[in-house]
Amino acid sequence: MRPLNADALRSFLRVAEARSLSRAAALLGLPKSTVSRQIARLEEEVGAALLERLPGGVRLTDAGHVLMEHAAEVVALLDGAAAAVQAAIARPRGMLRANVPHLFAVGLLAPRLPEFLRAHPEVELLVEVSGAAAGAAARETDVTVRVGPLEDSALVARRLGTSELRLYAAPSALGGLSPGAATARLAEADVAGVAPIGQYREIVALEEGRAMRRAQVQEPLARHAMVLAGAGAAWLPAFLARGDAASGRLLDLTPGAPVGPIPLHALYTAQAATSPKVRAFVGFLQRITAPLTRPQG
């Protein structure tokens, strides 16, 4: 059997609803002869009569009733696909609500947001910085960014990239040891353990050749500031310390492989997936997070 023609299906549905070829043709803005040919083509394609002609109009045959049930669904899918394409090429505009973790907002997103606003002058951003659960945040936001493993959710998850943790210290915190010797001391002492995401992480000082715990700090930005100030060595998100490591303000003392990869995702509803403003913002997030997966050095 040949594929059914979409325009013919639309005409068939209109005829079935109007119970008249003439009325259906008028509603479609087509000549009655065109609609009649389309119905004849459908009947040829399905191999059965779809309409019974009556003096006052038409009525569906048994085959026509079966086709009508499926045709309505097919036409709805086709119209939805067309609407999705139009939405994809439309201009992003309106309020866009985003929910992002604090470190992601301060360390990565905020410095780059002016680029997005300049590129999309008709979009207004409302950024909520919190650690709310993805499901709860999704009811109020267009796009939610989450770091780490995802909980089960009906949301669409678009992978943005990956992060990792590395062990850093300022040169002044090595206590006269070479970077290699400092790394060895930290590994031997086993005092710079890695806690789960969101829990307290240790700051370890190297004094007189020995590694000693000096503090526990949960907030990565505060830990980063303390390490820069020479408090000791600590695990930090690599993207946060990358610039300091490149300039020599921090040394990478990671013993072996870094911790990770830690996935980052943008979450949004299936309905929002065709929204121009959501598509634009998720694309922007993918661009600014792309460097996270590049090796350091």
Residue 156 in contact with residue 251, Cβ under 8 Å?
no
Which own/partner pairs from 187-190 qualify as long-range (CB within 8 Å, at least 24 positions apart)? Answer: 187/255, 187/256
At 116, the pLDDT band (50, 70, 90 cuts) reads: very high
Q: Is residue 150 domain-shared with residue 25, that is, in the same domain?
A: no
* 101: pLDDT strictly greater than 50: yes
Residue that has been written with the tokens 């990239």 in this structure? 161
How far apart are the C-alpha atoms of 82 and 165, rounded to whole Å? 44
Give the C-alpha distances (Å, rounded to integers) separating 258 from 89, 165, 194, 271.
41, 6, 10, 38
- The total of structural domains in the chain comes to 3
pLDDT of amino acid 285: 93
Indicate the residue among 32, 54, 89 that finishes a domain. Answer: 89
229 and 222 Cβ atoms separated by less than 8 Å: no
Q: Residue 185 sits in a domain of what CATH number? A: 3.40.190.10
Q: Give the pLDDT of residue 97.
A: 93
Q: Is the separation of the CB atoms in 174 and 165 below 8 Å? A: no
Bridge partners of 85? none
> Based on the domain organization, do 250 and 267 belong to the same domain?
no
Q: Is 47 contained in some domain?
A: yes
Burial readout 243-282 (b: 16 or more C-beta within 10 A, e: otherwise)? ebbeeeebbbbbeeebbeebbbbbbbbeebbbbbbbbbbb
Structure confidence by residue, pLDDT tens digits, 177-201: 888 888 888 877 765 565 555 555 7
**169 and 153 co-located in one domain:** no
* Structural tokens at position 177: 């040891």
Residue 114 has pLDDT above 90, yes or no: yes
1 falls within a domain: no
Rounded to two decimals, the pTM is: 0.59
167 plus 102 within the same structural domain: no
Residue at 191 is within a domain: yes
Nearest to 168, CA basis, from 80, 241, 61: 241
List 146's β-bridge partners, or say none: 265
Q: 117: domain range?
A: 94-162+262-293
The pLDDT tens digits of the residues spanning 33-73 come to 898 888 888 888 888 888 888 887 888 888 888 888 887 78
Which residues, including other chains, have CB under 8 Å from residue 234's CB and lie 6 or more apart? 167, 168, 169, 192, 201, 202, 203, 204, 217, 223, 226, 227
Mean pLDDT confidence for 265-275:
85
**Domain limit, last residue, from 89, 123, 140:** 89
| Residue that is last in its domain, among 24, 54, 89 | 89
Whether 170 and 220 map to the same domain: the answer is: yes
Asked if residue 57 and residue 37 are part of one domain, the reply reads yes
Confidence at residue 294, expressed as pLDDT on a 0 to 100 scale: 54
